Amino acid sequence: MQLNPKGRDWGAIVNFDDLGKLYTVLIVIWTAWLFTGIAWLIWNRRLPFVRIRHLPVAIISTLFLHIYLVKIMMAYTTNGHFLCSAEFWIMSVYLPLGIALFQANCTQLRSIAERQERLLARHASTDSQSPPRSLSLVGRMWTQWKDLSQAHKSYVFIGVGMLVQVIMTAAIYATSPELQGDWSSYGDLPYNRGQGKCRRSATWVPSAFWQLFWTWVYGPYELYRIRHVRDTHHWRLQTILCIVAGLPGTPLWLGALFANITFRPVNRWFVPPMWLAPGIIVMQACTIGFPIYETFEYSKAKRQHADSLQSASTMVGSVDYEEKKDFRVEHSAETLLTAIHSQFTGRTLYSKAALDFALHQMSAPLLHFAAIKDFSGENIVFLTSVIRWRAAWAQVPRDGATGAIAPAARSHLFSLALQIFTESVHEKTAEFPVNIEGYIRKDLLAIFEPALAEEKRLSGESGRARRAHAAFEHGAQQNGISLRQMRAHSQLRWDASKQAATTTRGTNGSSTDLIAPPSPDQRSASHFDSTASTPYANEQDPFSFPPHPAVAPLGEPELDVPVEFDERVFDAAEGSVKYLVLTNTWRKFIGVEKKQYDSVNSRPAV
C-alpha cells in the first residue's frame, strides 16, 4: 500500500496516495447511495409513513451535513489546499445548521405523537369547542404560539439561534486577520503551514460551542421527551441511534485539534475533523434508510397477505353491523381480539371483513393503536365518522310517496358531511388530512368548497377545523339545548332504535351474533315519529327535549346543498382510506396485539 510517509504534512502537493484514493472512493460511493435514497424518498413522498417524517427538513439537514462530510473526507487528500476561511464558514454555519435541522426533524416524532394524542382525545370527547373569545393582539399572538406544533416551535428556536450564530460568525471573521489570509502573527510561514496554524486558533471555539449545544444538550433533551413513545415506524429507534452516534464527535475533534502531542500519530492519517464523520454518516443513514426499510417491509407484508386483501373497489358498504358507538377507549385490544377470534381465524384476521367488524363493533382499540403507535389516527377517525354519517342518512325522515329526504334533514346531513370534510379531508383545515388520491380530493372539493366559503362568511370564523352549522346552533340555543345534550340525545335515540331491531341469530345461537339494523318501515314507523315514546321520553329524564335536528330540524337551513350530494359522496374516499388501513395499520395492529393475545391465552391456568 503506497502512503505518504508524512501523512497530512501541509506540504506543497496533495496526498493522492492509496489512502487518499480510498477516502475519495468512499465518499463518492456514499454520495451516490445518499442521493439515490433521497431521490427514492422524493419519488415515494406520498406514502403515509414517508409523508409524516417532514421530508423537506430531513433532506435539507442531510444535505447540509453532507457538505461538511465531503470536506472532511477529502481533508487528507487536499493536504491543506483548502481555504481555512471557507472551512471556518462551513464548520461554523453549515455543520451546526445541519445538526440543528436534524434535531428539528427528530422533534417531528415528539410533535406528531403529541398531536395524535390530542386527536384521540378530541375524538373521544363529546364536549363541543367553546366559542372564540375576543383577545388583544398579544393574546392572539400567545394563542397562536400555543397552537403551534412542537416541530414548528423548534423551527422558530432554531431560526433565532442560527441568526445569532451567523452574526457571531461574521463578527469573528471580520475581526480575525488569520481567517482572511493574514498570518503575520504566526511569523514567516509558507502558505500551507499558515493554513494549518489557522485551523488551530481560538476562533473555532464558538463553532464547537454550537455543536456541543445541539448534540449534548438538545439531543439528550429530545431523548428524554420521547422516552414513552412506542411507534411502529422504528422512528424512536432511529432518533436514539442518531443522537447517540453524534455525541462523541465534537469532544474527540476538540481533543485531536488541541491535544496535538497525544493525537499526532493519529492526526497524520485520520485528520481531526474526521472524528465527526461516523456520527454524520449514522445520521444520514438512519434518516434516509429507515423510511426505505419500512417501505420494503410494507411491500413484503402486502405480498404475504395478498390472499386476504380484496379489491378497493368493493370496499364500501358490504357488511351491516350493529353500531356500538364506542369512541371512548372503553374496550381493550384484548376484548376486540377476543371478539374477532370468535368470527375469524387464521389469515382471515387480516381480511377486509375483519377490519369492518372492528370499525363497526368496537373501533376504540384500533383508534388508540393507530393514533399512539402508528400515527395514523386520522384514518380511523375518518372511517368511523363516515360510518356514523351513513347511519344518520339511513335514518332520516322521507316523504312517504316519493321516498325523498326532507329538505331540512338533507341540509343537516350536508352540514355533518361538511364537518367530516373540513376535519378529515380538506388540506387547509384538517390537522391530519387523510391520504387519498388527488382526483378523489378534487371531486370532494368541488362539492364542499363553495359551502365552506359560504359557511365561513356566515359564521365569521376563520374556518380552521371548527364546523358549526348556523341553523343548528341557533335552534339549539332557542330551545335551551347544548350541543353536548343533542349528541347525548342522538345516542339515546339510537340505542332506543336498536331495542326495536330484529335480532339475526345463527343456528348456534352464540352471543356474538350481530343485531340487524331496523328496516325502513320500522324506522319510519317508530324511530322517526317525533311523537313516538322511547324509554327516555319522560319528564324525569333530563334528555326529554325536542328531537334531533335530523328528525325535526331547528331553524331554517342556511347552506345551499349541491345536487351532486348524496349518500355515496364519501364512497371513493372511504374505499381509498380503508384500503390503506387494511394494508398498513390493520396488519400492524393484528400482528402486535395477536402476539400479546396469544401469550396471555397460552399461559397455563393457575
Beta carbons of 195 and 88 less than 8 angstroms apart: no
| Beta-bridge partners for 503 | 515
Amino acid residing at 466: R
Q: Of the candidates 559, 539, 406, which has an alpha carbon nearest to the alpha carbon of residue 468?
A: 559
Angle in degrees, 0-180, between the axes of helices 55-73 and 95-124, rounded to the nearest 10: 160
Asked if residues 354 and 336 have their Cβ atoms less than 8 Å apart, the reply is no
Q: Classify each residue of 529-554 as buried b or exposed e, where b means 16 or more C-beta atoms within 10 Å of its C-beta.
A: eeeeebebbeeeeebeeebbbbbebb
Give just the sign of the alpha carbon dihedral 71, 76, 81, 84.
positive
The closest of 452, 483, 493 to 554, measured between CA atoms, is: 483
The pLDDT assigned to 554 comes to 42
Which domains are seen in the chain, by residue range? 18-118+146-302 (1.20.1070), 312-598 (no CATH)
What per-residue confidence (pLDDT) applies to 578?
92
Number of neighbouring beta carbons within 10 Å of residue 6: 11
Q: What angle do CA 175, 177, 179 make, to 5 degrees?
A: 95
Question: How deeply is 413 buried, as exposed, middle or buried, from its count of CB atoms within 10 A (0-12, 13-18, 19+)?
Answer: buried
**Residues in the chain, total:** 606
Q: What is the spatial distance between Cα 349 and Cα 490, in angstroms, rounded to a whole number?
A: 33
Confidence at residue 304, expressed as pLDDT on a 0 to 100 scale: 66
Q: How large is the angle between the packed helices 18-43 and 55-73, nearest 10 degrees?
A: 170
Amino acid at position 535, single letter: P
Map residue 34 onto helix, strand or coil: helix
Q: Which of 282, 274, 277, 279 is nearest to 78 (CA)?
A: 274
- Residue with the three cell numbers 371512548: 328
Long-range contacts of 135-144 (CB under 8 A, 24+ apart): none
Give the pLDDT of residue 286. 92
- Closest by alpha carbon to 588, among 177, 145, 49, 8? 49
Which residues lie closer than 8 Å to 52 by C-beta, 6 or more apart?
A: 108, 112, 233, 375
**AA identity, residue 97:** L
Supply 4's cell numbers.
505518504
Confidence at residue 322, expressed as pLDDT on a 0 to 100 scale? 46
- 8 Å CB contact between 530 and 551: yes
pTM of the model: 0.70
Which residue ranges in the chain fall short of pLDDT 50? 126-132, 310-330, 461-557, 605-606
Distance (Å, whole) CA 35 – CA 14: 27
